[in-house]
Amino acid sequence: MLLTFYVQGSKAQTNIPLYPDNQILFAKEGTEIPRLTVYKPAKMKSDIAVIVCSGGSYGGRANDWEGIPACKTLNDAGITAFLLDYRVPNPTRMQHKEIVPLTDAQRAIQYVREHAAEYKVDAAKVGIMGFSAGGHLVTTVGTHFGKTALDNPQSTSLKPAFVIAVYPVVSFADSLTHWDSRNNLIGPDITSAEIKEYSNELQVTVDTPPFFLVSALDDNVVKVENSLYLEAALRQCEVPVELYLYAKGGHGFGVNNKTVSKQWTAPCMKWILSNKWKISNNK
């Protein structure tokens, strides 16, 4: 596997192709190269790892104001972060575009777990964070971990230890969804079965991992009900969930809601560090 290094600010980061020997699942000619970028804290305070997925309506990745600042915030808390450049759905570059982002995210969990010793993290303590459409991706990871297209000879668990979803798209129901995200992932001819499959508030079970949700009541891009309905579904199944709800902030504030002095990141980092995470199976 080819590893490359570059400088981001004052720290060297490691850039890792997600699939060994460029054997990229579902790829056609001209495909993007999915990758992980490792952000190591200056001083590790935990053996927890968090994979970060930026938003972008499944049409791009907002790394500059979501993914990279989130990784740096995790580093400031002493947590190792992995920024995931998952492939953006594109039928000319890939087959089965609707499952490619999920497959890339599952592969990221698989990679981090299987290389945990290398990064001095605990394989049982790998969580995932996502923003907006990246929030839909991570809520899908948190509810669909029993289904995968990956080869998994080591039977590595694809269930994240925890999920953090910030102003997430959760539902593909007509009354709740973010239309660009739904159309980019599935397309305008989505079926009722696909709407149910990708409405993650309908996919929660007692085996779903714990969630930390962040949203704003005045979000006029992704309806706050996406988070509220998911929270209700999690509580119904007695899955641990924390909801950090702003009165104001709109959409796309990343790690810095400029309308308030207290950011969601402080209680979130405390939540990550104070829990004894574990994963037991892929049920």
Sheet of strand 80-85, all strands in order from the earlier edge strand to the far edge: 4-8, 11-17, 35-39, 80-85, 49-53, 126-131, 163-166, 211-216, 241-246
For residue 225, report the phi and psi dihedrals to the nearest 5 degrees.
Answer: -60, -25
What is the full per-residue pLDDT of the chain (283 aa) written as tens digits?
Answer: 444 444 443 355 799 999 988 899 999 998 999 999 999 999 999 999 999 999 999 999 999 999 999 999 999 999 999 999 999 999 999 999 999 999 999 999 999 999 999 999 999 999 999 999 999 999 999 999 999 999 999 999 999 999 999 999 999 999 999 999 999 999 999 999 999 999 999 999 999 999 999 999 999 999 999 999 999 999 999 999 999 999 999 999 999 999 998 999 999 999 999 998 876 544 4
Instruction: Answer whether 244's CB lies under 8 Å from 272's CB.
Output: no
- The H-or-E segment that residue 227 falls in is helix 225-236
Which residue from 172, 263, 265 is spatially nearest to 223, judged by alpha carbons?
172
For residue 10, report the phi and psi dihedrals to the nearest 5 degrees.
Answer: -105, 5
Which residue from 27, 42, 53 is spatially nearest to 166, judged by alpha carbons?
53
3-state secondary structure of 183: helix
Which residue from 243, 221, 245, 219 is spatially nearest to 233, judged by alpha carbons?
243
Between CA 245 and CA 236 the distance in angstroms is: 19
Domains of the chain: 23-274 (3.40.50.1820)
Joined together, the tokens standing for residue 235 give 């509580």
- CA 278 remoteness from chain centre: 18
Instruction: Answer whether 18's CB lies under 8 Å from 104's CB.
Output: yes
Q: What is the pTM of this model?
A: 0.94
Scored b (16 or more CB within 10 A) or e, 86-96 reads bbbbbeebbee
Q: Characterize the bridge pairing of strands 35-39 and 80-85.
A: antiparallel
Joined together, the tokens standing for residue 142 give 């948190």
Strand partners, 5: 14
pLDDT (tens digit per residue) in 36-78: 999 999 999 999 999 999 999 999 999 999 999 999 999 999 9
For residue 35, report the phi and psi dihedrals to the nearest 5 degrees.
Answer: -150, 165
